Structure 1
């Protein structure tokens, strides 16, 4: 049952909502970094004079790693979290045990949080890739689980 009386669905709602907040928060972090550094703007029209940019300069369009790192984290979220939403919901529909659902759904959230921390603190690619891999395998498992249950049904 897809309502909040089902603890498996409730687990999904919590995990999915946290990932919505992660994506939206990362966008705001990028905006904050652009405003703080007054650089790393993305589009030519961003260097027009306005309330938020009173002294536009062409160099504001140059890549700024402080801003671009946040932009790359945001793009990475946008590449990974939507698959989680879909696979997670399909997984929930298969009526898994609560423990398995919590391990998978909260495991993905934890992996994305660890990936964020690793990226934000400039850890090696291997560290980031480890957390990406954990999250990716969770999504793959949930999708495969849903597929197997659907084909058997």
Structure 2
């Protein structure tokens, strides 16, 4: 059976989880832009101070760190540090033809862990709370990668 098609329920599970990851990464980028434009500060680069239709009255203060904007930027960076590893490990995991129940637990577990991490970050929960959700997602990616190594070596 060809493993990378929509007739394979493990691949369908991966496709759903991976697509949700894409949407999360892209939405967080847009959330950062929205917050930056809303408060007119927290811009990232000096060239952002050039006058234009979206910034008619630039000022040096716009480059100052703003927690409202920077929190979203940190969330985006965290997504970019974690979700691509899931995409790679998950796809390789699909190629090992794991049991469907295991794929669903791991892949949907990762999505839920990332959603909980985002919610904890957005609501300014403690580091321990965020770290718990990060750890769950990270362990899931590690398990999938180890599964792939085991399948290849043994």
Which interval holds the TM-score relative to the shorter structure? over 0.9
| Stretches of structure 2 lacking an aligned partner (at least 5 in a row) | none
Counterpart for residue 11 of structure 2: 9
> Paired residue for 1:99, among 79, 101, 104?
101
Shift of 1:41: 0.2
- Aligned-residue CA RMSD (Å): 0.4
Normalised by the size of structure 2, how large is the TM-score?
0.98
> Paired residue for 2:22, among 20, 23, 31?
20
> Paired residue for 2:111, among 109, 112, 117?
109
| Stretches of structure 1 lacking an aligned partner (at least 5 in a row) | none
Runs of at least 4 residues of structure 1 off by over 2 A? Answer: none
Shift of 1:48: 1.0
2:145 is the alignment partner of 1:143: yes
Q: Distance in 1 between matches of 2:78 and 2:65?
A: 18
Counterpart for residue 79 of structure 1: 81
Q: Distance in 1 between matches of 2:150 and 2:92?
A: 11
2:71 is the alignment partner of 1:48: no
Residue-pair matches, total: 152
Normalised by the size of structure 1, how large is the TM-score?
0.99
